[in-house]
Structure 1
Amino acid sequence: MSFNTLYIFELKDIRHVYGKKNGSLQDKNDLEIDMLRISRGTITGLAGPNGSGKSTLLKILAFAIRPTFGTVLFNGEPAHPFSKKVRFNITLLTQEPYLLKRSVYDNIIYGLKIRGMKRHDQNVDMDKKISDAMSHVGLDFDMFAHRRWNELSGGEAQRVAMAARLVLKPSVLLLDEPTASVDADSAIMIRRAAQKARDEWGTTIIVASHDQNWLNGVCDSHLHLLKGLIIPESEMKYSKE
C-alpha cells in the first residue's frame, strides 16, 4: 500500500473476531472494514450503539490488539503493540480512569518517566509540564498535585487520566466514551482539552461517544458503526441509546 502523507492511519481488509465458536472462527466478524483512512490533525467521531465495534476499532488503532486479519499502517508503515513508535505517539483514554495508587503528580509524570525524562533533569521543568497539563483539564496544581488517587471524585480522576495523556503531547489521542461517567463540569473540561490538543499541537483525535451534540460540534468527520460495519449516514437506522 502506498503511503500518503495526509493519512496518519490506513486500515485495509480488517476483520476481527473475538474468540472461537465450535472450535473455529465465528462466521460473523466483530469488526469488518475494507478500507479506512484517517487524516492527520483531524477530529473523527465514532457513533453507534453499544456493541457496534467502536471500542474494538479504537483498540486496533491504539495497537492494543491486533486484528484477526488485515493491515494497519501508522504514518505509512506497519506498527506493532508495545513498539516505541506506538507507545510514544498514541495514547488511549477509556471511560474508566485507571490510575496508579499514587498521587496526582506521580500519575501524570509516569508517562514522561517512561520516556526517559527525570524529575530533577536540569533541562526540563517537570513541575511546569505537570502544571500545564493539569490546567488544560481545570485542575489547580497547588490544590491537586499531591492528592492521592483515592481522594478524587470520579470526574476529577478522569481529568487526571486525561492530563496524564496530554502531558505527552501525543500524535494521536483516542477517546472511548471519555465523558460518559463524569459530572457536567468535568465533561466540559475534557472536551475542551481534547479540542485544544488538536488546535495547539496538531494532535489527531478519534473519539467514540454517545454525545451526538459534542461530535457534531467538534468533529471534522464521522464514522457510524453498526454490528461491526461502517454504515453510510443515509442508511443509519439504529436507535440512539
Structure 2
Amino acid sequence: MDALYELEDVTQSYDGRVVLNIPRLTIASGTITGLAGPNGGGKSTLLRLLAFLESPASGVVRYRGEPTLGREFALRGEVTYFPQEPYLLKRSVRANVGYGLSVRGAPDIRERVDAALDAVGLDPVRFAPRSWRQLSGGEVKRVALAARLALRPRVLLLDEPTANLDKNSAELVRRAVFAAREEYGTTLVISGHDQRWLDAVCDSKLKLREGGLLAPDAADETGWHGRTA
C-alpha cells in the first residue's frame, strides 16, 4: 500500500513543554489505524497534526509524499476530523448532516444525508426533521459522525468516537467505519480507550504514552501490549 502520511522527527510543544515526539511513523492509504494509551499520552495532538489543524514544532509531516508545511489550510478539504466532544449547529438534524455538503456544493445532498444517518443507525424519516435540542447525548455524537461520513472524505480522523456510547451504538460506529473504508476508500485513524473495540475495527494499533510511541512489545501498567501490525 502507498504511504499516505509520513512523519519524521516530529515534535509538538505547548508553552515550552514537549507533548509529542515521533521519530518516524508511516500510515498507509486505505488502512484503519488505532491509537491507544492513557489520557495525556499524545493521541489527540497527533490527530490534530494529521488533520492539519496544527503544524509541528519541528520535524516533517508528508502527505501523499509532499511536505505539508504551509499547505495545511488547502489540505483540510481532504481530511475530516471528529473531536472528542463534537457539537451540532442549532438546526435540524438534516441541516446539520447536510451542512458540509451544501458548503461544498455537493450533488444529491438529501440522498447522502439519508445514507449517512442510516449508517449510524438513525432512521432518516424519524430523525432528519428533529431539532438538535431533541437529541440525547449519544444521538448528538452519532449525528455529528453522520455529518462527517456524508462528506466521504479521503481521510477520517476520529478522537474517542465510542466514548459514552452504549454497546449497540458502538457496534453501529464500527460498521460505519468499515463501510467508509470499503465504499469510499477512506483512510481512518481512530483513538480510543476501548481496546477490544479498537482490536475489532483496526488493521493495526499504536500505543502512545507521554508523547512517544511505545515499542511493539512494550506493556503498560495493565499488561496490555502495544502493537503496530
Aligned residues between the structures: 222
In structure 2, distance between residues paired with 1:166 and 1:13: 32
- Seen in structure 2, the aligned counterparts of structure 1 residues 240 and 169 have a Cα distance that, compared at 3 Å, is farther
**Unmatched tracts of structure 1, length 5 or more:** 20-24, 118-123
- Seen in structure 2, the aligned counterparts of structure 1 residues 240 and 97 have a Cα distance that, compared at 3 Å, is farther
Question: Which residue of structure 2 lines up, in the alignment, with residue 214 of structure 1?
Answer: 197
In structure 2, distance between residues paired with 1:240 and 1:167: 38
- Seen in structure 2, the aligned counterparts of structure 1 residues 131 and 15 have a Cα distance that, compared at 3 Å, is same
Matches within 5 A, 1:153-192: 153-192=136-175
Question: Given the alignment of the two structures, is residue 89 of structure 1 paired with residue 78 of structure 2, yes or no?
Answer: yes
SS at match of 2:8: strand
Report % sequence identity. Answer: 49
Q: CA deviation at 1:82?
A: 2.5
The AA in structure 2 aligned to 1:32 is N
Q: Please tell me whether the aligned partners of residues 41 and 208 of structure 2 are also in contact (alpha carbons under 8 angstroms).
A: yes
C-alpha root-mean-square deviation of aligned residues, in Å?
1.6
String of CA shifts for 1:205-236, please: whole Å, max 9, x gaps: 11111111111122111111111000113122
Q: CA deviation at 1:182?
A: 2.0
Question: Which residue of structure 2 lines up, in the alignment, with residue 120 of structure 1?
Answer: none
Question: Which residue of structure 1 lines up, in the alignment, with residue 8 of structure 2?
Answer: 12
Q: Please tell me whether the aligned partners of residues 49 and 238 of structure 1 are also in contact (alpha carbons under 8 angstroms).
A: no
> With structure 2 as the length reference, what TM-score do the two structures score?
0.92
In structure 2, distance between residues paired with 1:114 and 1:74: 24
Q: CA deviation at 1:240?
A: 7.7
In structure 2, distance between residues paired with 1:189 and 1:138: 6
The AA in structure 2 aligned to 1:201 is Y
Question: Which residue of structure 1 lines up, in the alignment, with residue 116 of structure 2?
Answer: 133
Question: Given the alignment of the two structures, is residue 72 of structure 1 paired with residue 72 of structure 2, yes or no?
Answer: no
> With structure 1 as the length reference, what TM-score do the two structures score?
0.87
In structure 1, distance between residues paired with 2:140 and 2:84: 11
Q: Please tell me whether the aligned partners of residues 156 and 186 of structure 1 are also in contact (alpha carbons under 8 angstroms).
A: no
In structure 1, distance between residues paired with 2:64 and 2:221: 33
Question: Which residue of structure 1 lines up, in the alignment, with residue 38 of structure 2?
Answer: 49
In structure 2, distance between residues paired with 1:222 and 1:186: 22
Q: What is the aligned counterpart of 1:203 among 179, 186, 199?
A: 186
Q: Please tell me whether the aligned partners of residues 98 and 110 of structure 2 are also in contact (alpha carbons under 8 angstroms).
A: no
Moved more, 181-190 or 65-74: 181-190
In structure 1, distance between residues paired with 2:25 and 2:67: 15
The AA in structure 2 aligned to 1:175 is L
In structure 2, distance between residues paired with 1:190 and 1:240: 27
In structure 1, distance between residues paired with 2:84 and 2:223: 19
